[in-house]
Amino acid sequence: MFMRGLRQTTEVDYKYWSPAETMPPSEIKRLQYNRLLEQVNYLWTKSSFYHEKWQESGFYPERLKTLEDIRYIPRLTKEEIRESQEKNPPYGMMCVPGRGPIIRIGMTSGTTGRPVLIPFTEEDYFGTYCEGHVRSAWAAGVRKEDIVHVAYGFTPFMGLASSYDSCEHLIGSLVVPGGTWDSSLRLTMIEKLGITVLMGTPTYLLHLASVAEEHGVDPRKLGVRVICTAGEPGAMSAPNTGLRLEKAWGSKIYDYSGTQETNCIAWLCEEGTGHLNEDLLYFEVLDPETNEPVEPGAPGKLVITDLVQKTHPCIRFETGDMVRGIETDTACPCGRTLSKFKGFKGRVGDIIKVRGVCVSVAGIENVIRGIEDCSDNYEYHAFKGSNGMDRIKVRIEPQKNIEAELWDNISKKVAEALHNAFMINMDVEVIPPGTLPIYKLKAKRFRDLR
Ligand SMILES: [Zn+2]
């Protein structure tokens, strides 16, 4: 059972939030197997959704002799959850009955416009989802004395809810909301209240720093000690984005990633390594074409199983994310034994194969954010060239103080850097600053026009 404010102490400064962070890998494996077995047996008897789905595919709980036997369980897609919710609104048949009142919902916007709702009981929300999240804030050094500002829009986005509740209820910090504030009021309040920790998307926090500069305020002098990003590729997946944030704010940069459907997946420790919440979730990296596990450390698509959550547990959930891989055999200097996560490459649909080369959102972002003359704003699209070949066009806004006659040079520089990174030629267009939209939650930078 969860306890709010479990670690509300200023007397002892624990380095790790959870004992799971330093558990020997063999113990983690045993814990994962026991939890998986319990979860599968529980759902076999309590969930008509899973019982029917598994029975149809020939899976039954006795087949789970080892952790690897998870491969016999059919995978779960977001479309299945969505269809079930449309047939049985609002939460669909995946919501296990009798777990207590729903106290929080997440809602994924998706790209199809048909939202999926994720219901949480108190036990699942505070005990599992916030437990997954609070480790990232704790590793970032957020403590009871901090004043935290969560700069997300006020929507049913789990990143907002769990940032807020982890810091307020579990760590005990003062958390300041500001969903309707514009950037200028936000900056005033950061200074007035003495905000020490800032949370938001990398895109928005870079924008906020540039607004400060426009107002003649140096963001580095505002006293923001720690920045925690989420919602799109941050320091864990696009290191140059992390460096930009660090330079703009003069803060230590942390990043975490999760799915609304499952939990916080991974977070950066103080050594800059991504660690996975392996006691709460089971991770598989699969070849997107064969659905077979890839070699340890190799890239592939991420499939996740909820080991603990009981209200709306996702078993072998296709996240739709492509990842760089998971490393299990090397220790991190921080002392944590949780496997290392090498970061996201992008959404499965956003990774485009062009003339045999995989081009990802995080890859392009990392190149552009590494070039000083480029502002933070860019987009790219794939299209068919006149000869029928697939091509990519990248449109970037330069830094505001650069004269238009120098834009050609920037375009050449970006094209060269992209060629060095991907070994294919891309079209680059430099467009006037302010042309592209400013995103506050997740930036939509890729369009497939083929
Ligand atoms: Zn570490």
Separation of 269 CA from ligand 1 center, angstroms?
A: 5
Band of pLDDT at residue 1, cut at 50, 70 and 90? very low
Separation of 220 CA from ligand 1 center, angstroms?
A: 26
Separation of 410 CA from ligand 1 center, angstroms?
A: 37
Dihedral, CA atoms, 84, 90, 91, 97, nearest 10 degrees?
A: -110
Q: What own/partner pairs with CB < 8 Å and gap ≥ 24 does 177-180 have? A: 177/150, 178/149, 178/150, 178/151, 179/152, 179/153, 179/154, 180/154
Helix residue ranges, H only, 222-360: 239-249
| Segments making up each domain of the chain, as ranges | 1-345, 352-448
For residue 445, the model assigns a pLDDT of 85
Please tell me the CATH code under which domain 352-448 is placed. 3.30.300.30
Separation of 62 CA from ligand 1 center, angstroms?
A: 36
Separation of 141 CA from ligand 1 center, angstroms?
A: 13
DSSP code for 380: E
Band of pLDDT at residue 112, cut at 50, 70 and 90? low
For residue 337, the model assigns a pLDDT of 95
Cβ neighbours for 432, distance < 8 A, ≥ 6 positions apart? 397, 404
Separation of 399 CA from ligand 1 center, angstroms?
A: 35
For the segment 371-415, what is each residue's pLDDT rounded down to a tens digit?
A: 999 998 999 998 888 888 888 999 999 999 999 999 999 999 999
For residue 138, the model assigns a pLDDT of 96
Question: Mean of the pLDDT values across residues 126-133?
Answer: 96
For the segment 139-161, what is each residue's pLDDT rounded down to a tens digit?
A: 999 999 999 999 988 888 899 99
Separation of 265 CA from ligand 1 center, angstroms?
A: 15
Better-predicted residue by pLDDT, 117 or 354:
117
Band of pLDDT at residue 441, cut at 50, 70 and 90? low
Question: Mean of the pLDDT values across residues 256-266?
Answer: 95
For residue 104, the model assigns a pLDDT of 95
For residue 13, the model assigns a pLDDT of 63
Separation of 178 CA from ligand 1 center, angstroms?
A: 32
- Which of 372, 220, 264, 358 is CA-nearest to residue 17? 264
Q: What b/e string do you get for 140-151 counting C-beta neighbours within 10 Å, with b at 16 or more? A: bbbbeebbbbbb
What is d(CA 426, CA 261) in angstroms, rounded to the nearest whole number? Answer: 35
Average pLDDT, the chain: 91
pLDDT at 273 exceeding the cut of 60: yes
Band of pLDDT at residue 360, cut at 50, 70 and 90? confident
pLDDT at 11 exceeding the cut of 80: no
For residue 440, the model assigns a pLDDT of 63
For residue 65, the model assigns a pLDDT of 97
pTM for this entry: 0.86
For residue 379, the model assigns a pLDDT of 92
Question: Mean of the pLDDT values across residues 434-449?
Answer: 80
For residue 363, the model assigns a pLDDT of 84
Separation of 341 CA from ligand 1 center, angstroms?
A: 10
Separation of 336 CA from ligand 1 center, angstroms?
A: 5
pLDDT at 9 exceeding the cut of 50: no
Separation of 270 CA from ligand 1 center, angstroms?
A: 6
Separation of 333 CA from ligand 1 center, angstroms?
A: 6
Identify the H or E element spanning 138.
helix 130-139
For residue 110, the model assigns a pLDDT of 58
Please tell me the CATH code under which domain 1-345 is placed. 3.40.50.12780
For the segment 283-333, what is each residue's pLDDT rounded down to a tens digit?
A: 999 998 899 999 999 999 999 999 999 999 999 999 989 999 999 987 899
pLDDT at 3 exceeding the cut of 60: no
Better-predicted residue by pLDDT, 10 or 43:
43
Amino acid of residue 31: L
